[in-house]
Amino acid sequence: MLISANVLVFLYQVTLSPHAGKAFVLANAMVPARIPAFLAGHAPASVALFPLFSSMFLHGGLMHLLGNMLFLYIFGDNVEDAFGHIGYLLFYLLCGIGSGLIHVLFNWGSGIPALGASGAISGVMGAYAVMFPRHQILTFFFIFLIPVPAILILGYWFVLQFVAGINGLGMATAGGVAWWAHIGGFLMGALIAWVTKKR
């Protein structure tokens, strides 16, 4: 259902004219500068806070959508089995909103829209790393498909995100990947999974 929701929103996006599509994205993407504007009383709560939810279902292009949905398809089903359908949905949305807030903290005042399911899916990946670290993931290695333990793949992925996020600190805000949304989502998902597993 989550994959279907993302695909349907994207299909709606591509039916819009360029002007209408831009307006739709600006209205529903997460713009960090709107949070301090809201806190200062210069923007309504709906404009500042609702995009924390709506931005999770927007994508900047077909490859952006396909990449995110591939990761959600690979890692999502096992995590959903662990949490149950409703628990998984709440977990997914919580990771998406939390990762959006972390992105805002590291990009305070930025007027660049952030969109995509990456933060929520990063949370799913973090939970998978905690709950199923030894599960084998078929991975392309040159021209071969080889099984690799999930903890190695996800650990390597997280290190890449963390290094990129650290390298971007102190630099002028620019468009691109929301590294800290990925980092924050992954850590949040891992923490929730760890607490759930302990209980």
Each residue's pLDDT tens digit, 5-59 = 999 999 999 999 999 999 999 999 999 999 999 999 998 999 999 999 999 999 9
Q: How high is the mean pLDDT of the chain?
A: 92
Residue 122's pLDDT is what?
97
Task: Decide if 182 is catalytic.
Answer: yes
130-139 pLDDT, tens digit per residue, is: 999 999 988 8
CA distance linking residue 96 with residue 55, whole number of Å: 9
Q: pTM for the complete prediction?
A: 0.91
Average pLDDT over residues 83-110: 94
What is the DSSP annotation of 142-173? TTEEEEEEHHHHHHHHHHHHHHHHHHHTTSPP
Whether pLDDT at 142 is above 90: no
113-135 pLDDT, tens digit per residue, is: 999 999 999 999 999 999 999 99
- pLDDT classification of 141: cutoffs 50, 70, 90: confident
Whether pLDDT at 171 is above 80: no
Instruction: Label residue 148 exposed, middle or buried (CB < 10 Å: 0-12, 13-18, 19+).
Output: middle
94 vs 109: which has the higher pLDDT = 94
CA distance linking residue 26 with residue 114, whole number of Å: 9
Domain that holds residue 146: 2-198
Domain count, the chain: 1
Residue 177's pLDDT is what?
77
Whether pLDDT at 72 is above 70: yes
CA distance linking residue 101 with residue 181, whole number of Å: 8
CA distances 133 to 39, 79, 127, Å, are 41, 12, 9
Distant-in-sequence, close-in-space partners of 197: CB < 8 Å, separation ≥ 6: 130, 131
Q: Which residues face 114 on adjacent strands? A: 30
Q: Which of 55, 99, 118, 122 is catalytic?
A: 118
Q: Which residues face 145 on adjacent strands? A: 140
Could you tell me how far CA 17 lies from the centroid of its own chain? 26
Average pLDDT over residues 137-155: 88
184-196 pLDDT, tens digit per residue, is: 999 999 999 999 9
Structure-token match 């891992």, residue found:
190
Residue 170's pLDDT is what?
62
- Which helix (H) or strand (E) element contains residue 136? strand 136-141
Task: Decide if 54 is catalytic.
Answer: no
Tell me the CATH number at 73.
Answer: 1.20.1540.10
